[in-house]
């Protein structure tokens, strides 16, 4: 049996990326994700990989663009303000249909904000961040094991759909240590990439990686085609966890650290006889719309627990067609809701229904 190890979430991402075959890391330090870069700085030179601390976040994301164009698995990581800087590059990656793996270990914002945990980049990652019509597959891990397993998954789905896959974590997930089983990670090798700019050997036409289309008819066509691809992502890649949802009349919606806190509250509420459960989206895009829609057949109230001013709650409302009651249970700025706060929201929802 493998030796059990405790790892920080940030380190688990870095090691899982290496296991997934990533040999190129570009980044710029920022709390609370710096351990990703530190781990890569230590490991990459020993395995023939590249670790490069770029002169800025913008440079780092464009280095990702370059390596991805050459067909290799590549990543960058940062935290909220740094991800904003990468926004332009994320849009160009989407416009050029390049696979990439990007990590955002969120901190409080807006602006330079703070360095404590946050989930307030939900809109940024699920709605855009850069300009233009595009999507990213967004994974929200809730344990260190998932930080590792979703990293592997992200590399694979990025390659499969030729798009950016992002891990949207937060300071808690990045900094906490839990047992990790790295041997459990199953990796599929990267697929053939006939589109990559790897040299023609005078045997084929040149491959061109570009996001510039001056003829509107052409640009419209690639946008339509890209969205057909996004439809298959929505059909195939949705991930979520249901917790005690079978008879739930109150449904908590939470991801990442908020889901961990909520689980404590739900267990206490259940012991008091309240029929409450949780849907934990693991992919934030594509959002698990159908499971929420189904939950609304039984649940009268949805409580969105977020470390933001209420971002995911919009997707919960959309998925359930605004038919239920909605409650936002939140803390922001680096603060984290306590289980007691979530429990209070659950109890109020239970009382409200009795009236």
Residue 218: other Cβ atoms inside 10 A: 10
Q: Got the DSSP string for 71-106?
A: T--EEEEE-HHHHHHTHHHHHHHHHTT--EEEEEEE
What is residue 202's DSSP assignment? T
**CB 257, min distance to another protein, A:** 8
Nearer to another protein, 91 or 104 (CB): 104
Nearer to another protein, 73 or 107 (CB): 107
Nearer to another protein, 67 or 248 (CB): 248
User: Burial level of 5, CB count in 10 A (0-12/13-18/19+)?
Assistant: middle
**CB 290, min distance to another protein, A:** 27
Nearer to another protein, 32 or 281 (CB): 32
* 3-state helix vs strand vs coil in the chain, percent to 5: 45, 20, 35
Nearer to another protein, 68 or 143 (CB): 143
Instruction: Please give the Cα distance from 67 to 274 (Å, whole number).
Output: 52
Q: Could you list the residues that contact another protein (CB under 8 A)?
A: 4, 6, 31-32, 115-116, 171-172, 175-179, 257, 260-261, 263-264, 267, 336, 338-339
**CB 254, min distance to another protein, A:** 11
Instruction: Please give the Cα distance from 347 to 218 (Å, whole number).
Output: 55
Tokens of 174: 């990045």
Nearer to another protein, 157 or 262 (CB): 262
**CB 147, min distance to another protein, A:** 13
Nearer to another protein, 143 or 157 (CB): 143
Distance (Å) of CA 265 to CA 70, 85, 268: 48, 37, 5
**CB 168, min distance to another protein, A:** 18
**CB 338, min distance to another protein, A:** 6
User: Burial level of 54, CB count in 10 A (0-12/13-18/19+)?
Assistant: middle
**CB 281, min distance to another protein, A:** 18
**β-pair type (283-285, 137-139):** antiparallel
Contact 43, 18 (CB under 8 A): yes
């Amino acid at each position: 049996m493998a030796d059990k190890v405790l790892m920080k979430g940030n380190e688990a991402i870095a090691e899982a990326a290496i296991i997934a075959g990533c040999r190129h890391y570009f980044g710029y330090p920022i709390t609370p994700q710096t351990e990703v870069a530190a781990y890569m700085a230590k490991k990459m030179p020993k395995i023939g990989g590249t670790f490069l601390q770029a002169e800025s976040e913008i440079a780092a994301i464009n280095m990702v663009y370059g390596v991805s164009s050459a067909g290799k698995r590549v990543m960058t990581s940062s935290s909220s303000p740094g991800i904003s800087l990468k926004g332009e590059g994320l849009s160009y990656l989407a416009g050029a249909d390049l696979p990439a793996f990007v990590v955002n270990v969120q901190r409080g914002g807006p602006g330079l904000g703070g360095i404590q945990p946050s989930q307030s980049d939900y809109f940024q990652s699920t709605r855009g961040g850069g300009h233009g019509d595009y999507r990213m597959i967004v994974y929200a891990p809730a344990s260190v094991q998932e930080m590792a397993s979703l990293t592997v998954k992200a590399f694979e789905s990025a390659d499969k759909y030729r798009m950016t896959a992002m891990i949207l974590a937060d300071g808690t997930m990045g900094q906490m240590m839990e047992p990790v089983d790295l041997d459990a990670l199953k990796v599929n090798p990267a697929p053939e990439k006939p589109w990559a700019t790897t040299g023609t050997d005078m045997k084929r036409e040149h491959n061109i990686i570009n996001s510039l289309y001056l003829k509107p008819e052409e640009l419209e066509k690639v946008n339509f085609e890209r969205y057909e691809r996004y439809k298959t992502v929505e059909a195939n890649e949705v991930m979520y966890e249901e917790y005690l949802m079978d008879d739930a009349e109150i449904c908590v919606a939470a991801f990442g650290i908020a889901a961990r806190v909520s689980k404590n509250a739900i267990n206490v509420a259940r012991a008091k006889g309240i029929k409450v459960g949780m849907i934990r989206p693991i992919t934030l895009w594509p959002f698990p719309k159908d499971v929420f829609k189904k939950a609304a057949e039984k649940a009268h109230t949805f409580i969105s627990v977020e470390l933001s001013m209420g971002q995911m709650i919009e997707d919960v409302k959309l998925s359930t067609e605004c038919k239920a009651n909605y409650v936002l249970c939140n803390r922001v700025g680096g603060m984290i809701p306590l289980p007691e706060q979530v429990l209070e929201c659950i109890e109020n929802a239970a009382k409200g229904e009795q009236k």
